[in-house]
Amino acid sequence: MASVLGISVAAAAENAFTLTIKDHRFEPAELRVPANQPATLTVKNLDATPEEFESKSLRIEKVIPGNSEATFTLRPLKSGRYKFVGEFHEDAAKGEVIAE
């Protein structure tokens, strides 16, 4: 089991990306990832209030409490743009994953 898991963890570790939420905005608002490769995305909420990270195209929807983080597995993405929002502050908190 360890070796099977080791392969996927190692592959994911090469494509590990981080977004932060601060003052209800994402940094960076545009995150470039390699197309057609699995990746992990960690979203760190530096605000004191919860935020819901939501992306229909990435198929992610999760509430991240204040001063907490969550890590998601991104499936291999075709080239393109994948919008995401912080649903609790949708006017300010928005961005895109750009797979290329």
* Residue placing its CB nearer to Cu ion in the complex, 34 or 50: 50
Per-residue CA distances from 79 to 7, 82, 97 (Å): 24, 9, 10
Site pattern 22..61 for Cu ion (x: CB under 5 A):
------------------------------x-x------x
How far is it, in rounded angstroms, from Cα 94 to Cα 96? 7
What is the Cα–Cα distance from 93 to 35, expressed in whole angstroms?
24
Residue 69 or 87 having the CB closest to Cu ion: 87
Nearer to Cu ion, 47 or 54 (CB): 54
The first and second tokens of residue 71, run together, are 């890590």
Q: Which residues bind Cu ion (CB under 5 A)?
A: 52, 54, 61, 87
